[in-house]
Structure 1
């Protein structure tokens, strides 16, 4: 009998492989991203102290209002990237390590990264 294809398990396996190689430090924290069917999330994490330094998501009221409720498209993802970049720069974070969370670097994941770069973050 064939095993059913489990997309989530494959993504988690890729994410663990990525996490073995990269880690956020105080000088270059990790920019972790996640996209669901309806929303996009980004957070900057210092793995040495297990602390989230900055976060942004399309579930936040002011971001959702700015996007006029369309939280699932590429424009929303780019907006999240710009917002996380702006918040990071305000906290004095300029350099990050990008963690794509096991997703392909394509579509909304790429838009978040490009938006963060536009804000001034260096990968």
Structure 2
């Protein structure tokens, strides 16, 4: 029986990874959170490489955020928008959204909706 919150999140993530289509050719956006920052990684599973990363910890995004707002929903929206712009610039219009086992609300939802609004399809 799985009791730990982190372990439950990890098991949800593994169930999602099992269901990914192996030959889709689409990269996936993986969302990671800490108590202070939010991270988004664009991963190509066929090559097993990270294509690009965006986080609320980066200095370019920190200039647009207030000092204490790097961990809130506004930071997640900015990370999602920046990730979508960078992915479109790199030539990826369609991706698979991997919420990393986190529930789809709050920061994860804000990041996904901002990426969709910026033109990324998933």
- Using the size of structure 2 for normalisation, the TM-score is 0.92
Distance in 2 separating the partners of 1:26 and 1:84: 21
| Paired position in structure 2 for 1:57 | 55
Contact residue 39 and residue 72 of structure 1 kept, 8 A: yes
Residue 33 of structure 2 corresponds to which residue in structure 1?
Answer: 35
Q: How far did residue 36 of structure 1 move?
A: 1.4
Match of 1:66, SS state, is: coil
Runs of 4+ in 1 over 6 A off after TM superposition: none
Superposed, which structure 2 residues align to 1:1-123 within 5 Å?
5-22=3-20, 27-69=25-67, 70-123=69-122
Root-mean-square deviation (CA, aligned residues, Å) is 1.8
In the alignment, the residues of structure 2 paired with residue 116 and residue 65 of structure 1 have an alpha-carbon distance, to the nearest angstrom, of: 20
Question: CA deviation digits over 1:12-41, x for unaligned, max 9?
Answer: 111111111125767411111011111100
Gaps (5+ residues) in structure 1?
none
Count of matched residue pairs? 121
Stretches of structure 2 lacking an aligned partner (at least 5 in a row): none
- Give the 3-state SS of the residue equivalent to 1:41 in structure 2: strand
